[in-house]
């Protein structure tokens, strides 16, 4: 039975993980503090250690180094709620087996732990990181790896391949999205990305960064909704040792980590009014101060933000500063929902199937006709994220080379049970109603109806087919 130590200051989350992994055959011990953890891995040899990167009383990367000094063979997986590229690079350099961002699914953590047990510990440092997150891959020395500039040392470091890329769809909505990305990427304009949850806002932000003159520097992603108000200042600007309870070491913030690169602020509408003022000042002055310090630090950062809320409405209500909104919204991109680019469903499906096969070490070749029919009938309220999760789950549950309907969740097989918006009127019904009204208004002239709906004739035909409209 493999023995595992979990180091996590969130006691409830730690105990939940302990209970789950114990049922999966692991012998699990827990530590809520770094000091307790040091005492435990100093006395015992663990096969695996799962530790939070951000502990209140100790730095996670330093703890990783401590573990490797005591027992280099122990496989260490770091978990964090902040998907920071620089931290992932440092973790891999110091010997972490993998790096996973919260929230994660039970299947994902079990897969990583199982892979860590199977893997051989590298004998030296001639391996390079090519991926962040579950099932991180490494390349042997000699592979072509483009140098990436370190934001804090100005020295070269390994490139990290993007964890996701924009799939080049053929629908009108996808082509327009790619056109906007190509247009704004080479500039230094601030970009506000809007769209429904699960449409791929961070993927779009990363694509903009990769197409910019800043691509050789860090892309730092921050979930503003996951940062407590009282910690936001430290997260953005860093702090010096002793500046507040728990500040046991100097720490750089997101702005410094993204120096010369791109800072992506997801769900920016969740920032408190006080934090909005601090963010605006940093953007205006291009200078920041760490918490507890009087020294000003110049930062050169491109800002990309994202939200699934209507910030103009928040501005009108007075919950979001209008001057900050205009500062962030020099160029806006609306990410289309999956329904709006339904023509690309097969393309997205094939892409996610390849990714699932790679992540799960499977070789599933395709989907049965029944599965494909279910995919076409379902409305995908969770958009691309939901599609990717459904496919990954299905691949995990598929013992053969073809996914069958039994591997699909019931909500995909029973789309009629999908919850609708207020007054029982779904988005799909609303769109169907608009199409029918436009056709009636133009005496069923599809070219004129398409113009009225501001879509191409091809898109209108696809929508009519998608909704099985008998016209």
- Choose among 233, 176, 181: nearest CA to 212: 181
Per DSSP, what are the bridge partners of residue 289? 296
Predicted confidence at residue 138, as pLDDT, reads 34
Predicted confidence at residue 84, as pLDDT, reads 53
- Mark whether 258 and 400 lie in a shared domain: no
- Mark whether 185 and 325 lie in a shared domain: yes
Predicted confidence at residue 419, as pLDDT, reads 41
**Residue 161 falls inside a structural domain:** no
Predicted confidence at residue 441, as pLDDT, reads 73
**Domain closes at, from 268, 300, 334:** 334
Residue 428 near residue 379 (C-beta atoms within 8 A): yes
**Domain closes at, from 304, 334, 364:** 334
- Mark whether 426 and 397 lie in a shared domain: no
What residues contact 370, with CB distance under 8 A and at least 6 apart?
Answer: 404, 405
Q: Which two tokens stand for residue 194?
A: 């809007």
Radius of gyration (C-alpha) of the chain in whole angstroms: 24
Predicted confidence at residue 122, as pLDDT, reads 40
- Mark whether 312 and 350 lie in a shared domain: no
**Domain closes at, from 99, 127, 154:** 154
- Mark whether 398 and 429 lie in a shared domain: no
Predicted confidence at residue 426, as pLDDT, reads 60
Number of domains in the chain: 4
**Cα 31 to Cα 366: distance, rounded to the nearest angstrom:** 44
- Mark whether 110 and 196 lie in a shared domain: no
What residues contact 50, with CB distance under 8 A and at least 6 apart?
Answer: 4, 5, 6, 7, 8, 17, 76, 77, 79, 109, 113
Predicted confidence at residue 160, as pLDDT, reads 30
For 198, what's the count of Cα atoms within 13 Å in the CB-facing half-sphere? 14
Sign of CA dihedral 383, 388, 394, 397: negative
Range of the domain at 426: 422-466
Q: List the pLDDT tens digit at each of the 471 positions of the chain.
A: 889 999 988 777 788 788 888 888 899 999 988 899 999 999 998 999 999 887 877 888 888 888 988 888 899 998 876 545 456 666 766 788 877 776 676 777 888 888 888 774 443 333 333 333 333 333 333 333 333 333 333 332 323 333 356 777 888 889 999 999 999 999 999 999 999 989 999 999 999 999 999 999 999 999 888 888 888 898 899 988 888 877 778 888 999 999 999 999 999 999 999 999 999 999 999 999 999 999 999 999 999 999 988 898 899 999 999 999 999 999 999 999 998 888 899 999 999 999 999 989 999 999 999 999 899 888 898 999 999 999 999 999 999 999 999 999 988 987 644 444 444 456 677 778 778 877 877 778 888 788 777 677 777 888 888 888 876
Predicted confidence at residue 103, as pLDDT, reads 66
Predicted confidence at residue 168, as pLDDT, reads 78
**Residue 220 falls inside a structural domain:** yes
- Mark whether 112 and 28 lie in a shared domain: yes
- Mark whether 358 and 326 lie in a shared domain: no
**Residue 100 falls inside a structural domain:** yes
**Residue 252 falls inside a structural domain:** yes
Distance of CA 28 to the CA centre of its chain: 28
Looking at residue 257, which CATH number applies to its domain? Answer: 3.40.50.300
- Choose among 237, 56, 213, 200: nearest CA to 149: 213
**Cα 144 to Cα 286: distance, rounded to the nearest angstrom:** 35
- Mark whether 221 and 276 lie in a shared domain: yes
């Amino acid at each position: 039975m493999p023995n595992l130590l979990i180091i996590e200051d969130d006691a409830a989350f730690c105990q939940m993980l302990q209970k789950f992994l114990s049922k999966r055959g692991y012998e699990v011990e827990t530590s809520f503090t770094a000091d307790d953890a040091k005492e435990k891995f100093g006395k015992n040899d663990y096969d695996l250690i799962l530790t939070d990167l951000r502990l209140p009383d100790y730095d996670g990367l330093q703890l990783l180094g401590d573990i490797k000094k005591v027992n280099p063979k122990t496989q260490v997986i770091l978990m964090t709620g902040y998907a920071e590229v620089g931290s992932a690079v440092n973790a891999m350099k110091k010997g972490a087996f993998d790096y996973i961002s919260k929230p994660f699914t039970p299947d994902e953590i079990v897969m990583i732990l199982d892979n860590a047990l199977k893997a051989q510990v590298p004998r030296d440092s001639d391996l390079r990181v090519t991926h962040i997150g579950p099932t991180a891959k490494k390349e042997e020395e000699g592979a072509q790896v483009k140098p990436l500039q370190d934001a804090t040392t100005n020295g070269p470091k390994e490139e990290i391949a993007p964890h996701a890329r924009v799939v080049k769809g053929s629908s009108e909505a996808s082509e327009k999205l790619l056109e906007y990305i190509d247009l704004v990427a080479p500039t230094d304009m601030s970009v506000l990305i809007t769209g429904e949850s699960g449409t791929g806002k961070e993927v779009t932000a990363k694509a903009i960064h990769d197409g910019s003159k800043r691509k050789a520097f860090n892309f730092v992603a921050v979930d503003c909704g996951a940062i407590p108000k009282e910690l936001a200042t430290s997260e953005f600007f860093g702090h010096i040792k002793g500046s507040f309870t728990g500040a046991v070491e100097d720490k750089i913030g997101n702005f410094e980590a993204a120096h010369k690169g791109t800072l992506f602020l997801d769900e920016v509408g969740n920032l408190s009014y006080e934090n909005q003022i601090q963010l605006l000042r940093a953007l205006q002055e291009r200078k920041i101060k760490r918490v507890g310090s009087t020294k000003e630090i110049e930062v050169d950062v491109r800002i990309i933000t994202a939200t699934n809320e209507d910030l103009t409405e928040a501005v009108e209500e007075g919950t979001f500063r209008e001057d900050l909104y205009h500062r962030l919204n020099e160029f806006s991109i609306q990410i289309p929902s999956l329904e709006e680019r339904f023509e690309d469903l097969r393309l997205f499906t094939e892409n996610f199937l390849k990714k699932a096969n790679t992540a799960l070490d499977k070789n599933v070749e395709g989907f049965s006709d029944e599965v494909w029919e279910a995919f076409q009938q379902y409305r995908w309220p969770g958009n691309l994220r939901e599609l990717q999760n459904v496919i990954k789950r299905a691949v995990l549950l598929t013992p053969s080379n073809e996914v069958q309907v039994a591997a699909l969740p019931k909500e995909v097989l029973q789309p009629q049970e999908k919850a609708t918006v207020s007054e029982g009127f779904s988005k799909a019904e609303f769109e169907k109603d608009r199409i029918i009204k436009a056709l009636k208004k133009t005496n069923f002239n599809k070219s004129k109806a398409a113009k009225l709906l501001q879509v191409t004739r091809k898109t209108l035909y696809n929508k009519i087919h998608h909704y099985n409209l008998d016209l």
